A and B are shown apart, each in its own frame.
Chain A
Amino acid sequence: MSPGDLLRLEDVSREFGGLKALSQVTLAVGRGEIIGLIGPNGAGKTTLVNVVTGVHRASAGRVMFEGEDITRLKPYQAARRGIGRTFQVVQPFPDLTVIENVAASALFAGSAPALAAAREQAMEHLAFVGLKPLAERHASALTLAMRKRLELAKGLAMNPKLLLLDEVNAGLNNAEIDQALALIRAVAARGVTILIIEHLMKVVLSVCTRIAVLHHGELISVGAPNEVVADPRVVQAYLGKRYAATAAAHG
């Protein structure tokens, strides 16, 4: 592990009652990386994000961010440190307008000193994700694809160094996924480090610089995308033999 790592999980475990959701996970994420986190349902992917953001506290091990121990931080403190996230199930404030939703992130976690400045910043982020025309709508009136974009804008408004994207593409059609991918690349180009939880291998393989695979709470493989998809343990646990065969035939 190099000192330039932005995020480092050291032997992190998390138990719920008797269930080990995460078991001695050690993982380093370098600045500027787009790292994909894959694994079957219930593998502990969202738990890992929750441990990093302070929603759950690690039962054992440490979470380091920019060289500092953030294991015991609360969610709002992690947010102010520069860890932004989006939710698998989108979580807008339904009675606020779209721009107010984004302004809230800029005001409470981001760099905006006051409400007026927060609204200005929010408008820039909305323009970036293509939601500017809907700025004054209520968040509850948006379609799923638009809500996913709103989640991204909210995440960006937090002015994050690390952005955790939890299934931002789930439920989107192909055209919408392509747009979302372009957005993710554009965010990374701004210098934001990204950890993305994703089920669609197409997405993972096209944007990620590295992939980490969780299975039953254990990290079974980490590495470059082509190495990981060829890893027999990953094929066994997640991808399936048929996928491996097609990948080999095409690759």
Chain B
Amino acid sequence: MKRQALIGVVLFAVLAAMPLLGDAYTLRLGTTVLMYGVLAMSWNFIGGMAGYPSFATAAFFGLGAYVGAVTQKFGVPMPFAWALGGAFALAFAGLLGMALLRLRGHYFAIASLVVAEVLREIVNSATDLTGGGMGLNLPVPRLATVEAQAVFFFYAMLAVTAITFAALLATTWSKLGFGLRCIQQNEAAADMIGVNTTLYKTSAFMLSAVFVGVAGGVYASWVHYIEPPDVFDVLHSVKPIVMALLGGVGSVFGPLIGAGAYLFLEEVVWRHLLEAHTAVLGLLIVLLVLFLPRGLLSLATRAKGLAR
């Protein structure tokens, strides 16, 4: 655990130095990687640790974005608005979890997928509060230059990522994490040895929501303008899962590595194969998951094995 924490500290220190060398493009890409890192790590709580394939990430992201945007409209200062976004996502996941977590496997996946659609329709029709389909503009932070703003939001997203990482690390080594591993492997048996499965699953679901909600709030402020199809996009649910699979499901570093690798691939492929980029990207990911079922992280373990 100490070693993992140490690697984490080094990793985040390196990331924190990025604005010093990067241009605007690198900084924008970096912020996106961090944002998806939060989403993928969050999915890891419920999907990787507890084994419940949640597609509700987009719902929490959109909820956080809209709570952040609407509360700022009513004059709440930006950081508090972000925190409120997280708080709403947390509470929403708690209520939702009690209903959805009775389902298992495919049934749970489908039910969780629908949540974002429902929220999108609600936001679409609540025109007075949310602007409906016209979207919502957010106040631009009073910073001198566009570059300063980019740096500011990079660090904001980095902070959310670091907190998510710390929570993931702490959970992995806690009683909660141990209980979730038991649930993932055999839920009935976990129940029989005294694991309060309902409480544990709901906790994992709430953990998978809170940081995503905050990230949604930060995203809304970062891009200054949100609309329902953007923040409730089903890709916000799908991509984090692919990233976690790519990096290594259930591990501490896997989701973050997966997020970086995915977005790197996306950029490279998109730049060189403009017309066929989604097809090629899809193919690459299928191949990677087929031949590296335990993710990119397993390469490191394999290399260690070979070196011996």
Known A-B contacts A105-B194, A108-B193; the reply to A114 vs B185 at CB < 8 A is: no
For the complex, what is the distance from the CA of A161 to the CA of B189, rounded to whole Å?
A: 19
In terms of DSSP, what is the predominant structure of the interface of chain B?
Answer: helix
CB distance from B47 to the nearest CB of A (A): 16
The reply on A79 being an interface residue by CB < 8 A is yes
Name the one of A55, A76, A91, A95 contacting B194, with C-beta atoms under 8 angstroms. A76
Q: Residue B195 at the A interface, CB < 8 A? A: yes
> Which residues of A32-64 are within 8 A (CB) of B?
53, 55
Residues of B within 8 A of A108 (CB): 175, 179, 182, 190, 193-195
- B189 CB to nearest chain A CB (Å): 4
Is B178 touching A76 in the complex (CB atoms < 8 A)?
no
Q: A107-B175, A114-B175 are in contact. Are A80 and B182 (CB under 8 A)?
A: no
A100 contacts across to B, CB distance below 8 A: 178
B189:A76 contact, CB within 8 angstroms: no
CA distance A91 to B190 in the complex (A): 10
Closest to A74 in B: B191
Q: Check if B26 is an interface residue, CB within 8 A of chain A.
A: no
Does B298 sit at the interface, judged by CB under 8 A?
Answer: no
Other contacts beyond A80-B194, A107-B175: 8, CB < 8 A? A55-B192, A85-B192, A91-B189, A92-B186, A93-B181, A93-B185, A100-B178, A104-B193
B175–A93 CB distance below 8 A: no
In-complex Cβ contact of A93 among B186, B191, B196, B197 (8 A):
B186
Q: Show the binding face of B for A, using Cβ within 8 Å.
A: 175, 178-179, 181-182, 185-186, 188-197
Query: How far apart are the CA atoms of A34 and B193 in the complex, in Å?
Result: 22
CB of A130 closer than 8 Å to a CB of B: no
Which chain A residues in 110-148 approach chain B with CB under 8 Å? 110, 114-115
**Roughly how many angstroms separate A114 CA and B178 CA in the complex, as a whole number?**
11
* Shortest Cβ-Cβ A-B pairs, 8 listed: A109-B194, A108-B194, A79-B194, A91-B189, A93-B185, A75-B191, A105-B193, A108-B195
A158 close to chain B: CB less than 8 A:
yes
Answer yes or no: A94 CB below 8 A from chain B CBs.
yes
How far does the alpha carbon of A91 sit from the alpha carbon of B191 in the complex, in Å?
A: 12
| Centre residue among A91, A96, A108, A158 by max chain B CB count within 10 A | A108
A91 touches B178 (CB 8 A): no
Nearest residue (CB) in B for A112 is B175
Bound complex: CA of A110 vs CA of B193, how far in Å? 9
* Complex-state Cα separation, A117 to B188, whole angstroms: 24
Chain B contacts for A74, CB-based, 8 A: 191
Chain A interface residue count, Cβ-Cβ cutoff 8 angstroms: 26
- Of A53, A93, A114, which contacts B182 at CB under 8 A? A93
Min CB distance B154 to A, Å, is 37
Given contacts A91-B186, A93-B181, A93-B182, contact A115 B175 (CB under 8 A): yes
| Shortest Cβ distance from residue A129 to the other chain B in the assembled complex, whole angstroms | 16
User: In angstroms, how far is the closest chain A Cβ from the Cβ of B254?
Assistant: 16
- Inter-chain contacts of A76 with B (CB < 8 A): 191-197
Contacts of A87 in B (CB 8 A): 189, 192
Q: How far is the CA of A104 from the CA of B179 in the complex (A)?
A: 8
> In the complex, are the beta carbons of A75 and B192 less than 8 A apart?
yes
Q: Complex formed: what's the CA distance from A105 to B186 in Å? A: 13
For residue B192, give the distance in angstroms from its CB to the closest CB of chain A.
Answer: 5
- A residues less than 8 Å from B193 (CB atoms): 76, 79, 104-105, 108-109, 154, 158
A contact residues around B191 at 8 Å (CB): 74-76, 79
Q: Which of B179, B186, B192 has the most CB of A within 10 A?
A: B192
B187 nearest CB across to chain A (Å): 11
Q: Which residues of chain B have C-beta atoms less than 8 A from A93's C-beta?
A: 181-182, 185-186, 189-190
- Residue of A94, A105, A154, A158 near B185 (CB, 8 A) is A94
User: Closest residue to B194 on the A side, CB-wise?
Assistant: A109
| Nearest-neighbor residue (CB-CB) of B179 within chain A | A108
Distance in Å: Cβ of A75 to nearest Cβ of chain B: 4
- Of B185, B186, B188, the most chain A CB neighbours within 10 A belong to B185
Interface centre among B190, B193, B196 (most CB of A within 10 A): B193
Q: Which residues of A have CB within 8 Å of B188?
A: 55, 75, 91
CB distance from A86 to the nearest CB of B (A): 10
Chain A: minimal CB distance from B149 (Å):
45
Cβ of A105: which chain B residues have Cβ within 8 Å of it?
Answer: 193-194
Residues of B close to A79: CB separation below 8 A: 191-194
Complex CA distance for A151 and B194, rounded to whole angstroms? 15
Docked Cα-Cα span, A96 to B189, in Å, equals 13
CB distance from A80 to the nearest CB of B (A): 5
Residues in A neighbouring B192, C-beta threshold 8 A: 53, 55, 75-76, 79, 85, 87, 91
Minimum CB–CB distance for B178 against chain A, Å: 7
A94 cross-chain contacts in B, Cβ below 8 A: 185-186
